[in-house]
Amino acid sequence: MRSMVSKRVVYEREVKALNDNDVASAVSYAKSRAVVGKIVEWRDRKTIGLTIRITPGKAVWYVRRRELTLRLGILSSGLHTGFSTPGELDLEKARYIANQIHLAAGRKRNLREFADALVKLETTSGYADRMGHVERADELADETSLLAYRKRIGDTGSTWTWKTLTAKFLEYQLPKLKKKYRPQYEHYLQLPEFRGIDGKLVSEIKLRDLEQLRDAIHLNHAPSAVHRALTQSKKMMSWAWKYHATAAGLEEVQAEWWARWSFEYKTTARTHAPTVEEIARTIVIAENIRNLASGEHETYPGTTGALWGVALTAQRTGGFLQLRPDRLFDPPKSERQLKGWKVANWTEEEMKGGRDGGRPHSLPLPPEALKILQDYYAESGGKSDWMFSGRDPKRHITQAALNLLMYRLQGRVYDHTVKQKPSRKGKPGPKPRPKKDRPDLFQLYGIEPWTLHDVRRTMTTFLDDKRLGGAATAILGHKTDHDRVDERERMASVTEQHYNRSQRIGLKAEGMALWVKALLAAYAKEQRKFRDLRSSKLAA
């Protein structure tokens, strides 16, 4: 049997003023044995970017630009005929299209859509019909035009597809949400699994389609994601049925049958609150054991600093991580006892809000807490606009990064490099690599599992026992009757918001002083215990 020897492909490039004979030669060359093992390109000197690419059995027109390469179509083999076989381009049409692409780039058009549309128009019409081709292609490639918008969202022009419905609903719903929640809301309606029904008319979708979709999502995502995707999708269907029944093709539907589309999911109310000692112990092990798995980076200083910050303040992580060094203000003059304190401030847009939206929030920080946060800020580089930054100083760390630290401390991290499910019996192929060894440090050091949000419950209980429940409510930013703020106060500038009486700085400071003192005392005790334990292990 003759052995197969792979040969290296040879590239040949040439620049010349192309003519009709060159086009015919390129077609013949592609069919000959002389091109085997080669890739040949002839670039037209007379037209910007126009190139003939010749490979065995095929000669194709391309337009090569710095930012992208566009395939126009195969070469027409006819000479001076004035027309081409559908799908083929002669030299005259190729040059015309290449020049129009160059002009369309100056008009900031989507060049792929423009080229596809113009090639289609040019190869399905005679010269007499050329008038209007560019305008038509221009319209299709203009992302601001209604026609391009309809094409982009899959609008059939009659009734909506699922993709169209999703785009229309997001256009309606997203402006109603806070900016920071919009990407997440959009994400759950555009999971990859939805592509299976994107092109299907809403009027043709059946319950079995949705149940298959649900099962597909469940295979690749957490139960909470399945629940979220279904809840939002059902809301979307109900919106279309109530307000756009004709456009969506649902005018004949008498009841919301998609309400039967369900997923068994039960949320459990959290009742666990870590002790002050457990919070302090968690910080100690996070500080002292920063490399949590071999082959992974150490915990960033900004992440450890953020863990400290959440423990010291009991704030929601989403808003807290947006703290900036320039948003630490001096206390109001009326609070003379707060010498050395700073008041951290967040705008109403940064704070979580329910139906009434967020409200500006200010929190006094004692010097001991400030020193810890500023030390970690300095360790992170001390130049970021954010108090808690990671590898990129231009960005603050995310909630996901902080949650990931908690998961890593408990050995619960998902490893995307390792297949998580066991192989099916008899399935061929290589076996998965072993998972990375991540010890459960919570279990090792006697800490019951807890989440960052649980600190809020611990602080509330602690201050309630000190008969300072009102201070806890104010510190945590919970709404009370005293939180009613008139429009003038809500519109106050950032630098003035923490002076408003509604912020109750004095009351918050009283609660913060007690909480920070207790946490730091527990931290000092846990730090000594950790050092003693480590020393005894080394001695052994």
Helical pair 223-243 and 182-189, crossing angle rounded to 10 deg: 90
How does pLDDT run across 190-241, given as a tens digit for each residue? 999 999 899 889 998 999 999 999 999 999 888 989 999 999 999 999 999 9
- Per-residue model confidence (pLDDT) at position 435: 57
Q: How many CB atoms lie within 10 A of CB 198?
A: 15
Give the residue from 276, 204, 194 showing the smallest Cα distance to 232.
194
Distance CA 238, CA 258 (A): 8
Given a cut of 90, is residue 118 above it in pLDDT?
no
How does pLDDT run across 382-395, given as a tens digit for each residue? 999 999 998 899 99
Instruction: Name which of 4-8, 227-231, 357-361, 468-472 the model is least confident about.
Output: 4-8
Given a cut of 70, is residue 475 above it in pLDDT?
yes
Give the residue from 25, 28, 2 showing the smallest Cα distance to 14.
25
* pLDDT (average), residues 79-108: 75
Map out the domains of the chain with their CATH numbers: 10-149 (no CATH), 159-260 (1.10.150), 276-414+435-539 (1.10.443.10)
- Per-residue model confidence (pLDDT) at position 465: 93
Which ranges of 221-316 does DSSP label H, i.e. alpha helix?
223-243, 245-248, 276-288, 301-313
Distance CA 167, CA 151 (A): 12
- Per-residue model confidence (pLDDT) at position 523: 97
Q: Which SS3 state, helix, strand or coil, does residue 58 take?
A: strand
Assess contact for 144 and 92: CB atoms under 8 A.
no
- Per-residue model confidence (pLDDT) at position 485: 38
Confidence of residue 453 (pLDDT cuts 50, 70, 90): very high
Assess contact for 364 and 512: CB atoms under 8 A.
yes
Given a cut of 80, is residue 436 above it in pLDDT?
no
DSSP label at residue 450? -
Q: Which SS3 state, helix, strand or coil, does residue 265 take?
A: coil
- Per-residue model confidence (pLDDT) at position 3: 41
Looking up tokens 């001076």, which residue turns up? Answer: 80
- Per-residue model confidence (pLDDT) at position 498: 43
* pLDDT (average), residues 493-510: 64
* Assessment of whether the complete model's pTM goes beyond 0.75: no
The strand pairing partners of 60, in sequence order, are 53, 74
Given a cut of 90, is residue 502 above it in pLDDT?
no
* pLDDT (average), residues 137-141: 67
411 in the Ramachandran plot: left (φ > 0), alpha (ψ -120 to 50) or beta?
A: left
Instruction: Name which of 79-88, 96-105, 406-415, 501-510 the model is least confident about.
Output: 79-88
Confidence of residue 113 (pLDDT cuts 50, 70, 90): confident
Distance CA 74, CA 128 (A): 22
Q: Which SS3 state, helix, strand or coil, does residue 491 take?
A: coil
* pLDDT (average), residues 324-341: 89
